[in-house]
Structure 1
Amino acid sequence: MAEPGRNRATRWSRAIGRVLLRAVLALAIAFSGLFIGFALYFQLPLPEMPRWIVIGLWALLVLVILAGEIVRGSWRGRGLYLLALLVFFGWWSTIHPTNDRVWRADVAHGVTGTVDGDTVTLANVRNFDWRSDTDFTGKWETRTYDLAKLQTVDLVLSYWMGPEIAHTIVTFGFSDGQRVAFSAEIRPDETQSFSAIAGFFRVFNLVLIAADERDIIYLRSNVRKEDVYLYPLDMPQAGMRALFLSYVEKGNALAQKPKFYNTLTANCTTVVFQLVRALDPGLPRDYRILLSGLLPGYIFDHQGYRTGLSFEDFRARAAISQLGLAAGDGPDFSAAIRPPEGLVGLAAVDRR
């Protein structure tokens, strides 16, 4: 007597399994179809009208296959979509980054370096005089640094698109007064402008910029009027040295083999995390690495609490935008944004 009930339960479980399979496949088709639509928009080498025609035909195909999947789950439609995916990824694999373009002036050169014992010589250190975002005098310099004099590492966060998104800069200070900042950035050519969405679709190269603080921090605090914070980091001298050299290695590697910028996986913050993680594999992964504006909480959790400050005070005392505006474009810019009472990190605790 129990057999009919068991068969009914089996039929129900199979029906539910089929519904779940179709739901998962429908979501996969929808999301991959959307991704491919954006990829066609950003990468098809066609004039605007033909490009939109191709995107429209692709959208029609996706909608037809998606409707078939929702209504009855067609293996023929699934096979057709799989074939379309294979064609797309075959084409997608032919899109490669290149260093051979006419780049926008502020990213015309990525940093490279040579190491001879404690002496590091960096080529293409940017030292622009900025009057506005588009009006500047460009200077690319060769500078030499003594790693034996490496003294500080600071993390700079510049907020340009809401509280969750910040550009990250790592800057090194030396006992002889020199400072150099490293920033992983998009590398648009002269025809391109920044787009966070385009950054997912192999549009921009990744470039590592080395710059004078009066250039790269001044640009954000004084010219673009972004909300800028500076956090001294606690790191032994050996760790500072290894991190500095990892930036040199990264710059040399990008000069030899270009890499695409990716808004999610290869951006200014993830590059910093990858480099620091190479020094300390035990560094925990955290969603705040992707939402770079939330990095102050990550820093506070891992070292800021030792300052004895609340998180609110810890963050407030890192704010340097007003200090930068007050300093102006002078040679003492770096000193002006670091008054003793403004330091917040473990380095500040050590100096008191």
Structure 2
Amino acid sequence: MSLVSGIVRAALSITMLGAATWLTPALWFRLPGPEVLRIGIAVLVGTLALLCVVALWWPQASTLRWRLAGSYLMLLVASLAWWHSIAPQADRDWAEEVAHLVEGRVIEGQESQTQPDVGHSRGAVLHLDHVRDFEWHTPEDFTPHWESRDYPLDELTSVDLLTSHWMGPQIAHTLVSFGFADGRYLAFSVEIRKESTEVFSTLGGMFKQYELAVIAADERDIVRVRSNVRGEEVHLYRVQMPQEMMRELLLAYVDEAETLRTQPRFYNTAFSNCTTLVYAMMTRLTDGLPLDYRLLLSGYLPEYVADQGALSDTAPFAELKARSLINPAALAADQQPDGDFSRLIREGIPGADRPSF
């Protein structure tokens, strides 16, 4: 075997094995039809890739090897065309908890539409439709409720970062909650938009299994379901941020939801998720945010934020993290109404007793 022939075979082997590593789960998760059929086809394609590599290096397969390699490369080209044809949708049979994306608009100099007694007639009011306020009984059993709400933007006082650890210390779901002078909090979450018959799969999330959703919700819904109902470890950190930037970030969430409504996108476990989208929004609002591995290992995101000097308390991060755990307070406040739940989970949280700006 010549050196050139060996290099070509090695390159083809790496290409085919690498392609099989992607194509096998892609076929499993995204081919139409029953699961047993999808798994069977995926196994056959993976087996074909292995046979091609063996044939490339087997001296007795001199004629067969190039035919197999050519056939597999043609299959790969066809698979790439099929993969490109899979487009995100906005009108599937969605699970109830992600049935609606939040909709919002800024009303300048008008009375609140949903709370006419709040007395804000001159400042801008953010009117939101489809704010989620579910009562969760178990992870699968809930009482659904969607509301329209108004939030006076000139009374925006704080931003909190919450991380809900659902798979060890490295991986967490990221939420951002905005606080207002009247004691209300509005939490935003970028989530998978799964269909009514689907369950979450970390691997499936790498292969166009779910669309993206931006959910706005009351904290007693979206925080409590994680801390009290699912038993995830939830931490809350007060963020330091100028008031104007808080407003821009809040409106960026609303704009992102509107964009997803008209231009749906796929969720990706690693690259398009609850953390990377927040980072993308923040980079549009401020310069100089560095890329960092903690944007992928989202359980470490608060430490990244602390390193940027953006947490409102300057204590060592280990101390902040230890004091940021809200599970005991959330469990104690389990039956409290919305506003009291939000107030009680912040007691003792460093910096949470003062505004973000």
Q: TM-score, normalised by structure 2?
A: 0.87
Give yes or no for contact 2:243–2:356 (8 Å, CA) kept in 1.
Answer: no
Letter in 1 for 2:315: L
Question: What's the CA shift string for 1:210-234, capped at 9, x where partnerless?
Answer: 0001111111111111110001111
The structure where helix makes up a greater share of residues is 1
Which residue among 151, 158, 162 is the counterpart of 1:152? Answer: 158
Structure 2 match to 1:336: 344
Q: Aligned equivalents of 1:266 and 1:98: distance in 2?
A: 16
Question: Partner residue of 2:111?
Answer: none
The alpha-carbon deviation at position 259 of structure 1 amounts to 1.1
Structure 1 residue 305: Cα displacement: 8.0
Residue 47 of structure 1, aligned match among 34, 54, 78: 34
Could you report, residue by residue, the CA deviation over 1:101-144 in whole angstroms, capped at 9, with x for unpaired residues? Answer: 22111111111111233221111000011121122211100111
Q: SS state of the match for residue 249, structure 1?
A: helix
Q: Work out the percentage of aligned pairs sharing the same amino acid.
A: 42
Once the two structures are overlaid, the 10-residue window that deviates more, 307-316 or 30-39, is 307-316
> Following TM superposition, where does structure 1 have runs of at least 4 consecutive aligned residues deviating by more than 6 angstroms?
none
Q: Which residue of 2 aligns with 1:26?
A: 13
Whether 1:89 and 2:80 are equivalent positions in the alignment is yes
CA distance in 1, matches of 2:103, 2:12: 46
Correspondences of 1:259-278 after superposition (within 5 Å): 259-278=265-284
- CA-to-partner distance for each residue in 1:271-293, whole Å, 9 max, x for gaps? 11111111113110101001001
Aligned to 1:6: none
Query: Residue 211 of structure 2 is aligned with which of 205, 209, 220?
Result: 205
Q: Do residues 169 (structure 1) and 175 (structure 2) align?
A: yes
List gaps (5 residues or longer) in structure 1: 1-10
Aligned residue number for residue 4 of structure 1? none
Q: Give matches, 1:190-339, under 5 Å.
A: 190-303=196-309, 307-331=313-337, 332-339=340-347
Q: Is the 8 A contact 1:181 1:210 kept in 2?
A: yes
CA-CA distance at 1:70 after TM superposition: 4.3
Query: 1:120 and 1:161, CA in 2 relative to 1: closer, same or farther beyond 3 A?
Result: same
Aligned to 1:104: 95
**Letter of the 2:349 counterpart:** G
Q: Deviations over 1:51-89 (max 9, x none)?
A: 344223312321122223445796655443332221001
**Aligned partner of residue 268 in structure 1, secondary structure:** coil
Structure 2: gaps spanning 5 or more residues? 109-123
Per the alignment, residue 52 of structure 2 pairs with 65
Task: Quote the residue 2:117 is aligned against.
Answer: none
> Structure 1-normalised TM-score?
0.88
Q: CA RMSD in A?
A: 2.4
* Alpha-carbon offset, residue 337 of structure 1: 0.8
Q: Is the 8 A contact 1:317 1:344 kept in 2?
A: no
Q: How many residues align?
A: 336
Equivalents in 2 of 1:203, 1:92: separation in Å?
12
| Whole-angstrom distance in 1 between the partners of 2:311 and 2:343 | 25
1:203 match: secondary structure: coil
Could you give the per-residue CA deviations for residues 313-347 of structure 1, whole angstroms, max 9, x where no partner exists? Answer: 021111111111111131200000111x32258x8
Contact 2:236–2:349 (Cα < 8 Å) also in 1:
no
In 2: Cα distance, 1:278 partner to 1:305 partner: 19
Aligned mates of 2:311, 2:280 — CA distance in 1: 24
